[in-house]
Amino acid sequence: MPLSRTARHVAALVVLPLAALLGACGGGDGGPEAEPTADAAPTGPREIDTPDCVPSDARAVATGPEDEPVVVVTLGEGADGLVFAPQSGDTYCEWAPTLEAYAAQGYTVASFAWSRDAAASLRSAVEVLVDEGVTAYALVGSSVGAAMSTALADDLDPPPAGVLALSPAAVSDAGSAASADSAYTGPLLVIGSAADNATAARRVARSEDPTTYLEVPGGAHGLAILATGSGPMVEERMSEFLAGVFAD
């Protein structure tokens, strides 16, 4: 996939230094909610400095409570959007090359850092992307991000146009990610490794539709699949699936 950079200015109400929000490029993806305080009042998106690990022309906002905001980065100009959900304990940093590649293909892309409320983190990223003007979006997740994306696919507003899940578990903090428990009927592609809990990944795919599941050899998990010998084939399949999601 070709790599280039595009830019767009995002209007924002407040500019905050990134250091006040992130101690490192990582985050949690679940756990008890913090007790509300006077400083935890919900706030709308406000612009922050672009993190060093993403392209310099990416936009970055913080949204949610002041004491534990969700940091969302976006890149690109397209009407079709992609939300990339990170693995457990990771952030937009792990998706940086992918964000740049898909932005170069004409998408507006987004990723985020997990807060303790994982569902709220993903919802916030969707809201930021929609606020940037995309007309349709797909969810792309790895590991925990994959499970959260599939579990929430039938409960997001607006709903995703497609879901792509790398190495998902069958359960998540948002509930079951299994297709049998979901009302989501849109395009779905689940990718798993044969020796990496493939049973769970198969449960997330639709048993009645074999086109929703791609299994590769080995035991690589999540984004690590892209670094294996199957990586080029998987990347091609991902691109084809996402292009097909927006073909209509």
Mean pLDDT along residues 162-181: 96
Residue 78 has pLDDT above 80, yes or no: yes
Residue 241 maps to a domain: yes
Summarize the confidence of residues 143-162 as an average pLDDT. Answer: 97
Amino acid 41: pLDDT: 64
Share of the chain above pLDDT 70, in %: 83
In a domain, 136, yes or no: yes
Cβ neighbours for 150, distance < 8 A, ≥ 6 positions apart: 139, 141, 163, 165, 168, 172, 177, 179, 182, 184, 188, 190, 204
How many angstroms separate the Cα of 189 from the Cα of each of 139, 140, 153?
11, 10, 13
DSSP 82-103: EEEEPPTT--GGGGHHHHHHHH
Asked if pLDDT for residue 10 goes beyond 70, the answer is no
Q: What is the mean pLDDT of the chain?
A: 86
Asked whether residue 39 is assigned to any structural domain, the reply reads no
Q: If pLDDT is split at 50, 70 and 90, which confidence band does 237 have?
A: very high
Q: How far apart are CA 83 and CA 112, in angstroms?
A: 9
What average pLDDT score do residues 206-224 get? 97
DSSP per-residue letters across 134-196: -SEEEEEEETHHHHHHHHHTTT-SSPPSEEEEES--SEETTEE--GGG----S-EEEEEETTT
More confident residue, 204 or 21: 204
Q: Which domain holds residue 174?
A: 76-245
Within a domain: 138: yes
Judge whether 99 lies within some domain: yes
Q: For residue 238, what pLDDT is reported?
A: 98
Per-residue pLDDT at 248: 67
Instruction: Check residue 44 and give its pLDDT.
Output: 83
The CATH number for 105's domain is 3.40.50.1820
Does the pLDDT at position 174 exceed 50? yes
For residue 29, the model assigns a pLDDT of 38
pLDDT of residue 43: 76
Give the pLDDT of residue 194: 97
Structural tokens at position 245: 């999601």
Grade residue 79 by pLDDT with cuts at 50, 70 and 90.
Answer: very high
Residue 36 lies in a domain: no
Q: Domain for residue 160, yes or no? A: yes
Domain count, the chain: 1
Q: What is the pLDDT of residue 34?
A: 43
Residues 143-159 have a mean pLDDT of: 97
Is 26 contained in some domain?
no
**Model pLDDT for residues 16-75, shown as the tens digit of each residue:** 333 333 333 433 333 344 444 445 665 789 999 999 999 999 999 999 888 889 999 999
